[in-house]
Structure 1
């Protein structure tokens, strides 16, 4: 079997690591657009477009530290090395991924500065094959190569989601998305409206208070965060409209602002997939996918890392092990009809619990059940329940004490238990 892996971020590296030890796999090509591995964990001060006219992939800002402890951020068979802190800077995570790739012989299989242009089911083939067309950005040479399987691992923190706020396009001040945020200095002395209170929105809103005159954090969280914010940060409900330099909010209040700073998340984006791959993204729901993973219409294509609010690296590992076992015949995927039925049932069930279509791949409290379902169907080792327990504990502490939660130190006792200690750093 010849396998193409799109992307050399954590998901792509994990896919290659398991494929390379699989006897039935004869060839693994990892196609990476940038000049180094690591995906979203690579920091660059550049924004916009690179030297080849392609969008800068990473959304990493300079000060970022993980919002989950390292104890649940490694791979099940390759944990992050012990260190004094649980919450690590991005450069440490990048170094970890480099170590992981070197240890498992992945790096030599990565084609750096190779841009994937088109992936299309091969016409007229007796078995389901894929033609992958990619361009060597250094030489300009375009190649089309045939593969038996395709692993799509291009991440989903790189294409900004721009909300439909009335008056946004006509706003007289500055508008930017967190994808292009690097350092807080750009907001010095300004009044900034931060739209969105996900992990990055909360984190960046707190960080820029050190530079801004005022920060207005607009969100629709059902429960107000219990974190104590600096006095120059005010929380507001959703923005109703923008006029001139004035923001009008749904509670009837208004604020004069200099910058609209969108921390509104990202869109799933697969510009290289031909329409005959039968994957459609509408309102940020990628479908039809079985287990948020398998292309139902073309089961020789999988997507690693689509679910979010998860223990990411461990989930990648579990998804890869699941799919590789379907490749080597350890278990058989259900029929297309059965996979479709289960996908439709899951969507209906989630909708009945209040999930919107845009939240089709959000896990959070559902992640433990998802991990179990993958492990049971494929007969592979499950993730220890302690991973989900730590994830939930850390996520709650993020909301309760955003300024101090990264001082916590986690220790995993066994597959079910952990302890959390707090330590103040100078």
Structure 2
């Protein structure tokens, strides 16, 4: 939760298929302003000699025709809003954004409900009451909208207020249809390079109120924090206590006086364990990784072992140790849900990444005939031919984006996009410093206040 690792160019998190784009809302896509002045720039680096000339000519023709494109954006979370903002700057785009909630915010729109909303629909929010961002605000803000006046680690309410500020200043709320659940997206003519798309949606308050509308292009901002990933552990059905996923966690007070085992020690697992420690009698933080070096509260006990099985009143770890517990919380990540997209379009691989995509962004399946993304709409992307994309996909299949290796990936995306403005070095420096403190003293790391003093420097204030 709140793992927006960095600010990227608009197209850096797009999964493209024909002219359908899917955006993960773990990232802000609004760093680089869109321009068409560099439409003729050849691809750089690896792609210089293998530029997709045919697709390039297709996009020049589309731009020259000055046609009005009808575009749908699915989701009004951070990424959807960033995409909507950029698209709204082009007078040739007729926009509609579909949002299933009653307001903007996506992940940051909090609710105490955990399973179903007032209309019997699944709850997608994974935000808990005391949540703050787990990275400094400089890595969260949308370009042109600095988070001045906000703490270095904004709370969930402050993040939502910030997004509302961006929406109102940009004037993009008028494009958003609220309480609309998109049920299916499919091509009108799958064999055509310029197929339009049928988007079926309905009002969540009116089960039978279903509509289908045709769009030239669709941008789907799905995110990956709303569908829990449950492990399969022997004997869970016999356990007399409570079992829930971290996505359903809301208040530490609900576990006052209890002994709680948290399985998983990534971002959410550690954060929730610290939050629980305020009210729970004892918290067991169980994981298979190396021992965490960060300082822990006295009532958090770290166990470097996963779960083997349940008994009616305890969990047995893989090392044979038995721990009596009242509640188990699975902090075992979440997963993508692409059920509204054509079957077989996207495949998950190592690290829960979309393994069939070029640079984890687009599928080259029919790319040579036509491709689509925000930068392509504007005429600024430089992409390789299909054969080269397939080769790179194979090479990158074991590559997991995150931590230190994400910066190389960001640079690659910036080069491909044809943009001259790169991510400032200060972003990496803040990231590195923050996670160095995070690994040593988790409780302290979010008390620090960061201030960027230049493109490659910052100070603590």
Q: Which runs of 5 or more structure 2 residues have no equivalent in the other structure? A: 1-68
Task: State the distance in 1 between where 2:443 and 2:128 align.
Answer: 17
Structure 1 residues 173 and 181 mapped into 2: Cα distance closer, same or farther (>3 Å)? same
Partner of 1:80: 147
Partner of 1:102: 168
Cα contact 1:368–1:385 (8 A) shared by 2: no
Cα contact 1:239–1:250 (8 A) shared by 2: yes
Partner of 1:41: 108
2:425 paired with 1:410: no
Cα contact 1:5–1:28 (8 A) shared by 2: yes
CA RMSD of aligned residues (A): 2.0
1:338 Cα deviation after fit: 2.5
Cα contact 2:102–2:178 (8 A) shared by 1: yes
1:257 Cα deviation after fit: 1.0
Q: Secondary structure at the match of 1:398?
A: helix
Task: State the distance in 2 between where 1:30 and 1:186 align.
Answer: 37
- Per-residue CA shift, 1:371-396, capped at 9, x if unaligned? 11111112212211211221222123
1:141 Cα deviation after fit: 2.4
Partner of 1:89: 155
2:373 paired with 1:333: no
Partner of 2:183: 117
Task: State the distance in 2 between where 1:328 and 1:363 align.
Answer: 29
Q: Secondary structure at the match of 2:73?
A: strand
Partner of 1:374: 413
How do 1:141-290 residues align onto structure 2 when only pairs under 5 Å count? 141-222=209-290, 224-236=291-303, 237-275=305-343, 278-281=345-348, 284-290=352-358
Structure 1 residues 344 and 392 mapped into 2: Cα distance closer, same or farther (>3 Å)? same
1:255 Cα deviation after fit: 0.9
Match of 1:363 among 377, 390, 402: 402
Partner of 1:355: none
- Per-residue CA shift, 1:300-342, capped at 9, x if unaligned? 787xxxxxxxxxxxxxxxxxxxx32222322343333332221
Structure 1 residues 331 and 282 mapped into 2: Cα distance closer, same or farther (>3 Å)? closer
- Per-residue CA shift, 1:41-80, capped at 9, x if unaligned? 1111111011232211111111111111112210122221
2:95 paired with 1:28: yes
Taking structure 2 as the reference length, what is the TM-score of the superposition? 0.79
Cα contact 1:76–1:383 (8 A) shared by 2: no
Task: State the distance in 1 between where 2:251 and 2:381 align.
Answer: 49
- Per-residue CA shift, 1:212-252, capped at 9, x if unaligned? 22111001223x22222222211112122222222222333
Partner of 1:310: none
Comparing both chains, which one has the higher relative contact order based on Cα–Cα distances under 8 Å and sequence gaps of 6 or more?
2
1:132 Cα deviation after fit: 0.9
Task: State the distance in 2 between where 1:160 and 1:402 align.
Answer: 25
Taking structure 1 as the reference length, what is the TM-score of the superposition? 0.85
Partner of 2:41: none
Task: State the distance in 2 between where 1:71 and 1:35 align.
Answer: 28
Task: State the distance in 1 between where 2:145 and 2:294 align.
Answer: 34
Task: State the distance in 1 between where 2:270 and 2:381 align.
Answer: 43
1:125 Cα deviation after fit: 4.6
Match of 1:388 among 425, 428, 444: 428
1:145 Cα deviation after fit: 1.6
Cα contact 1:295–1:301 (8 A) shared by 2: no
1:126 Cα deviation after fit: 5.8
Task: State the distance in 1 between where 2:428 and 2:167 align.
Answer: 25
Match of 1:399 among 425, 428, 439: 439
Partner of 2:117: 50
Q: Secondary structure at the match of 2:323?
A: strand
Structure 1 residues 177 and 301 mapped into 2: Cα distance closer, same or farther (>3 Å)? farther
Partner of 2:26: none
Q: Secondary structure at the match of 1:290?
A: coil
1:287 Cα deviation after fit: 4.0
Cα contact 1:149–1:301 (8 A) shared by 2: no
Partner of 1:305: none
Task: State the distance in 2 between where 1:164 and 1:41 align.
Answer: 29
Cα contact 2:87–2:93 (8 A) shared by 1: no
1:271 Cα deviation after fit: 1.6
Q: Secondary structure at the match of 2:434?
A: helix
